[in-house]
Chains A and B, each alone.
Chain A
């Protein structure tokens, strides 16, 4: 089974702090994603990565950056946390089949971040 793990389930930070959220997957997936989940809005894509050191902005990248130095690890960085970044953050990974048929994304357990 695919396993996607996230470094923390709950995190409380203060406004202005730099925050790191870590995600690790164990299935050698090429693609990794960061989402935030807010009530009534579903999940929204922040950033994604197709390969090591490659990253692309998703739909709501403002205030966030990412890092992917190893294939299995994808980090989300809040350079200066703000209260409007209080949310549930979900990491996902997926395999891109050699035929180009994309498979579903597998999600981690999520990190509930509160910024005070």
Chain B
């Protein structure tokens, strides 16, 4: 059974700092997704990572995938308040059936 674990689950950080959210999963998969959710809103797709070694960047966010280690990271560079949200990773266990992590609630303080 595929399990997906994120850590940390809660993260409070200051503007301007760097930090990383980790997503570990238990069985082989070559597709991993990162989503963002603002309070009271739905999920917004951030990144789709399709192969080992994939790295994608958008603004202050960078995601990477290591399929051998079954690990994805979401790195935040020089955080700004607008990045406060809950971030989910999701692993495809086949045919778009996704298993989500618990989510990481990120709060960025001025």
A residues sitting closer than 8 Å to B (CB atoms) are 31, 33, 35, 40-45, 48, 50, 58-59, 90, 92, 94, 96, 101-110
Contact = CB atoms under 8 A, between A and B. Distances in A.
Given A59-B99, A107-B42, A109-B42, 11 more contacts: A45-B98, A48-B96, A48-B97, A58-B97, A90-B42, A90-B43, A102-B96, A107-B43, A107-B44, A108-B42, A110-B42
B85 interface: no
Which bracket fits the contact residues of B? 20 to 34
Interface stretch (B11-19, B65-73, B76-84, B100-108): B100-108
A44 B35 CA distance: 14
Interface of B: 4, 9, 31, 33, 35, 41-45, 48, 50, 88, 90, 92, 95-103
